[in-house]
Structure 1
Amino acid sequence: MEGEYKILCNNGKWEKKNKLTCDRKNIPEADVISENKQRYRYYEQVQYRCKDGYQGQFTLTCRGDGWIGNPRCTENTECGETPVIPNGKLVTPQRQNLRHIQARITCNTGYSSQIGHLPCRGGKWIPDNISPKDICTPTAKHCKPPPKVENAVVRTSYQKEYLSNSAVTYQCRDGYYMEGEYKILCNNGKWEKKNVACTLTYKMHFRKSHRRFLKIFQF
């Protein structure tokens, strides 16, 4: 309220000397949705709507002793569904009507997180200065698809990326025989180098027969 509000009796009539006004009332949690101005007249009403993260709507009235009304906004604590966390998930508490709700972060095997919980503020899940896609990060470098081996197939299901310390197994096509190793391991972004080869079956029999012949001949 600005100034005083006085009336005088003048020759049988009340005369207003000063008009009562109210300065706009700023509510941090709400915005003015009616006419927004700096000063309001006596008995003029102002409507407010609560901002995002809060719920409610109220009206204030300019009266002789200032603004009359209940300027109240209730914080929205219903967070709803949690965001998608690539290579991980959020475990939410059973009750979601409490303040300062937190959801526990669990990452998939081969991934870890720098933060343990995701807080809910104002009805929204808000990561602390981190994007949801960057929450669960690899503990070691991933490997690209394994190298191809002629006349062999990979028995392990195909993936775009393989976790460190994961293995793939090769199997020769029909008519071929496995020589050397049949399994390789991903180690911090690189596949270990092993001799994996598939040889025609008749060639393998020929080699074995040739070795037996040499042993007999040497004897």
Structure 2
Amino acid sequence: MFQGEHIQVRYGDRNVFAGDGVDLTIRGPERIALTGGNGTGKSTLLRVLKGDLTPDSGVVKRAEGRIAYLSQRLDLLDLDRTIAENFATFAPSLPESQRMTLLARFLFRGARSQLPVGVLSGGERLRATLACVLFAEPAPQLLLLDEPTNNLDLVSVGQLESALGAYQGAFVVVSHDERFLREIKVDRRVRLTDGTLVES
């Protein structure tokens, strides 16, 4: 699904990763936790995985299939359009009744599905974004999440855990929340320490 060898990214005259870069392979529907201290390059590595950032050196191979990236900014949705309108854009072939049923599972029932995304709280925006991403056409084979539980209430965290539990593809999640990582049953843990990526 993804294979990266000697990935190196430079900002100015500084290398993000140590030595000749980092190696990471994702095979099939793996659930991977990416941990490490602040400023170690976790978000940079996610952007490389997505393809938004081209490494300055190294080899990257991606299998065919959609990759979805939920950044901390949650900026995938159109803020001026309603939740239902955004969902229809991501999943246009689903009948409206089915879209409404799915949005209700993410706690957007009835009139709440007609709220503009711009008025939503952080937790609500995450739930709306997850609904759109998980049921998008085509569905993502790899989901990248950057600190998804930051500033979420318990209801929203529980909804996120349920959504990831039902998700069939692979994901890489950056998180320091050990309880959350246990709940979503990650298969592997990798840690960025001093610019080096190690299995932990």
Please give the TM-score of this superposition, normalised by the length of structure 2.
Answer: 0.21
Please give the TM-score of this superposition, normalised by the length of structure 1.
Answer: 0.20
Higher helix share: 2
Bigger RCO of structures 1 and 2 (CA < 8 A, at least 6 apart): 2
Higher strand share: 1
